[in-house]
Structure 1
Amino acid sequence: MPTPYGSRGGMAFGAEELRVLRRALALALHPTPASADDVQDCLRLVDSLDEATRESARLRAFLLADLGRYRAALPGTAAGYLTLLEEALGAGYRPHPDDLAALRALRGNPTAAALLRHCRRTHLLALPGGRAAADDPAKKKDPAQKPATPAPAPAPSRPAPSPRPARPVPTPGEVFPRRKPTPPPPNEHLAAG
């Protein structure tokens, strides 16, 4: 059965699981009838992956709950909190405003200062707009920081003139010449007035 590999969310596979996975991929790439044993092996692997995924989610929930308890007991639990936060960040956790406030309060600790820099760098890598911008705690004012000077806006550039075509572009009149109007059909019966 694949097992969660640490708290980073990766999976460790055994030799038998890798054999089944290779066979399943080969069947997907080159469809041939699968034997009953292959189907059963694939189903067992799927069940194992599902269980490992559930276990990984349980471990993550436990880690985040533990992180919240340690954060609530700061500053007395600084060492444990920083270790848990570092582990959670490595597993893809996005720090909450409470985490950033706790790191700012602990910034005299070199580990806390390094984690705070890491969290701010992570937010700087996000694209502007979207959910990340709305939830970005780094945008909140820190009294110890000076406001950033906005960069000057780049001068608007004119689009480069398009090169002249080798042949002139025909006008609609040249492409679709006017048709001569057709005369109305002669009316044989004239109405007498």
Structure 2
Amino acid sequence: MPMPYGFRGGMAFSADELRVLRRALAAALQPTPHTTGAQDAPAGYDAEGAQEVQEYLRLAGAVDEAAREGGRLRAFLLADLARYRAALPGSASGYLGQLQEALAAGYDPGPADLAALRALCARRQGPVESARRTALLRRCESLAERSVRARLCALPGGRATGEPEAEPASRPAPSPQPKAPRPGRPVPTPGEVFPPRRKPAPPPAARSA
């Protein structure tokens, strides 16, 4: 029976199961009358074709059962990891071991894991343990960032790099344009715009003389 492997739906097959799987793939690529169940199949192929069909059906059922078992195993491991995380800091050793096992199986750490690792790194411990916790925190931060970027790329209009969009270059302010004269109004002459200055009148003493 295929066995579930890891968090991402992987499966491990035995040698006999792989042989059946190869025959099923070959029959799918090049179907024959006895594998398709055609009515005009030769009589000599009836027993062999029925046996192969039964093997395909058994393998399909085993794969379905392994997929269900993989889902149950994933739920159990995640629940176990959550229990260790809730019991921190007393369960630090068990939590770190469970987290490393989950990461090796393809688990993407969440915000709760990052917060728990930061709290564990802030506590006093020896240099070896401190380096171990810091390295695990950096690894989880990198995996969490990659997971967020992948989800953003899957959204419509998502950016592949996760970098902010560049601001558009500022355009120069347009220079003021001279106002056009209103229609129906004559253009003023220079004399109207700048009237001549009048000479000042002489003082009264100069007029009496």
TM-score (norm 1): 0.62
Select which of 36, 39, 45 maps to 2:50. 36
The unaligned stretches of length 5 or more in structure 1 are 133-149, 157-193
Match of 1:77 in 2: 91
Give the aligned residue type for 1:45. L
2:4 match: secondary structure: strand
Select which of 137, 149, 152 maps to 1:129. 152
Match of 1:110 in 2: 131
Counting matched residue pairs gives 139
What displacement does 1:48 show?
A: 0.7
- Find the aligned partners of 1:14 and 1:54 in 2 and give their Cα distance: 18
Match of 1:47 in 2: 61
Contact 1:2–1:14 under 8 Å retained in 2: yes
- Find the aligned partners of 1:20 and 1:152 in 2 and give their Cα distance: 52
Contact 1:9–1:91 under 8 Å retained in 2: no
Which range moved further: 20-29 or 110-119?
110-119
What displacement does 1:85 show?
A: 1.1
Match of 2:81 in 1: 67
Contact 1:20–1:41 under 8 Å retained in 2: yes
What displacement does 1:124 show?
A: 3.4
What displacement does 1:57 show?
A: 1.0
Match of 1:119 in 2: 140
1:107 match: secondary structure: helix
Identify the structure with the greater helix proportion: 2
Identity %: 60
Match of 1:57 in 2: 71
Match of 2:26 in 1: 26
Contact 1:7–1:87 under 8 Å retained in 2: no
- Find the aligned partners of 2:98 and 2:112 in 1 and give their Cα distance: 14
Q: Which one has the largest radius of gyration?
A: 2
- Find the aligned partners of 2:7 and 2:165 in 1 and give their Cα distance: 43
The unaligned stretches of length 5 or more in structure 2 are 36-48, 123-129, 156-162, 170-209
Contact 1:106–1:113 under 8 Å retained in 2: no
Give the aligned residue type for 2:11. M
Contact 1:82–1:111 under 8 Å retained in 2: no
Distance 1:123 1:46, change over 3 A: same
Distance 1:131 1:45, change over 3 A: same
Distance 1:9 1:91, change over 3 A: farther
Match of 1:4 in 2: 4
